[in-house]
Amino acid sequence: MYLTSEVKKDIFKKHGGSEKNTGSAESQIALFTHRIDHLTSHLKNNKKDFGTQRALLNLVGKRRALLDYLKHTDIERYRAVIKVLDIRK
pLDDT at residue 89 greater than cutoff 80: no
pLDDT tens string 20-74: 888 899 999 999 999 999 999 999 999 999 999 999 999 999 999 999 999 999 9
Domain boundaries, the chain: 5-85
- Which of the four CATH numbers 1.10.287.10, 1.10.10.410, 2.60.120.10, 3.40.640.10 does domain 5-85 have? 1.10.287.10
Q: Tell me which long-range contacts 12-20 makes (C-beta under 8 A, separation of at least 24).
A: 15/81, 15/84
pLDDT given at position 48: 95
Burial (CB count within 10 angstroms: exposed 0-12, middle 13-18, buried 19+), residue 70: buried
